[in-house]
Amino acid sequence: MQRISIIEEIKELKIEKNAVILAHCYQNIEIDEVADFVGDSLFLSQQAAITNADIIVFAGVYFMAETAKILSPDKKVLLPRLESGCLMADMINLKELRNFKSQYPSSPVVCYVNSTAEIKAESDICCTSANAVEIVKSLSSNKILFVPDRGLGTYVASQLSNKEIISYYGYCPTHMRILPNDITDMKNKYPDAEVMAHPECHMEVIKIADYVGSTSGIIKRAKTSSSKRFIIATENGVVERLRRDIKDKEFILATDKAVCENMKWNTLEDILHSLKTETPEINVPEDIREKAYTSISRMLAIHV
């Protein structure tokens, strides 16, 4: 089937079925042509919470579709490729979280949105990379448990001197592939370039970055900064979109190894098939959903 006709068919089905397509910036860029909203985890979860659509097709990874279902239980939520998991989210399970909590019984748990519904349900409040500092700051306790990402947890700790953050040991394999040497090599080649890094990166990368932020933060900074050249330390989908959208600036990948394979499963064909068959559908048991909803809505109440 021709690409153009796939796009047309997806668009027609979206209208017919009152469906909305949410796409993360790490997706294959062709998906933007059919997406209603493209953005980072926070933005997409906000859209999932307010949409009037009957069907949400999530072009992203499993935890994102699960989050959409938690926020919009009456909608049908589809994840076109069920195998699109997040390796970091799978690094902690309920038993491990309970064990972690039992070591620090009076400390609240902040969970990164890159986690399963069960983990969100067992945590006090959720955060994304766009609001993690703000969320941790909002808690009255000085000692906070942070799961599952030690990268983001360490970054947040570096920004808040009055909080002790005990991070779990999870990490993002994609961002860990960006090495400090990659940045210094590129910086030697392009000394005028501004370095921007996602907080899931190694602390050594973060320390030499000029700007640290979530996907939306990096995109915003690229637009507003007076720099003309940037070295980008995050998943390469962000760089592809920056190059497409900001033509008068240059965006250099810190390394071509920062590709999240799970984010790249989805194709236009998969989205079409998913919309046609209304599968695979993502569901969350109601008792878990209600508790996970509390932890996500606490976050959304602080950072709308």
With contacts defined by CB under 6 A, name the span among 29-37, 40-48, 268-276, 296-304 that binds ligand 13P.
40-48
3-class DSSP string for 1-21: CCHHHHHHHHHHHHHHHCEEE
Contact 203, 171 (CB under 8 A): no
214 counts as binding ligand 13P under rule CB under 6 A? yes
116 counts as binding ligand 13P under rule CB under 6 A? no
> What token pair was written down for 125?
């409040």
The span from the CA of 41 to the CA of 229, in Å, is 26
Contact 58, 71 (CB under 8 A): no
Q: For the window 63-92, what string marks contact with ligand 13P as x by the rule CB under 6 A?
A: -----------------------x------
| Residue 174 Cβ vs ligand SF4, minimum distance, rounded to whole Å | 4
- The CB density around residue 12, as the number of other CB atoms within 10 Å, is 11
| Residue 223 Cβ vs ligand SF4, minimum distance, rounded to whole Å | 22
Which of 6, 10, 130, 231 forms a contact with ligand 13P (CB under 6 A)? 130
Half-sphere exposure of 178 (CA within 13 A, CB side): 35
> Would you tell me which residues interact with ligand SF4 (CB under 6 A)?
61, 86-88, 114, 172-174, 235, 260, 262-263
Contact 250, 230 (CB under 8 A): yes
Quick one: what does residue 53 bind among ligand 13P, ligand SF4, none, with the CB cut-off 5 to 8 Å set by partner type? none
| Residue 228 Cβ vs ligand SF4, minimum distance, rounded to whole Å | 27
| Residue 255 Cβ vs ligand SF4, minimum distance, rounded to whole Å | 14
Return the beta strands (E) in 93-228 as ranges: 109-112, 125-127, 143-147, 164-167, 194-197, 211-212
With contacts defined by CB under 6 A, name the span among 124-132, 204-212, 267-275, 280-288 that binds ligand 13P.
124-132
With contacts defined by CB under 6 A, name the span among 66-74, 100-108, 126-134, 159-167 that binds ligand 13P.
126-134
128 counts as binding ligand 13P under rule CB under 6 A? yes
Angstrom CA distances, 132 to 123, 128, 156, 158, 202, stand at 14, 6, 7, 12, 17
236 counts as binding ligand 13P under rule CB under 6 A? no
Contacts of 4 (CB under 8 A, 6+ apart): none
Exposure string of 30-45, with b = 16+ CB inside 10 Å and e = fewer, is ebbebbebbbbbbbbb
Quick one: what does residue 87 bind among ligand SF4, ligand 13P, none, with the CB cut-off 5 to 8 Å set by partner type? ligand SF4
Which of 47, 51, 115, 129 forms a contact with ligand 13P (CB under 6 A)? 129
Binding site for ligand 13P (CB under 6 A): 40-42, 86, 114, 128-130, 172, 200, 214-215
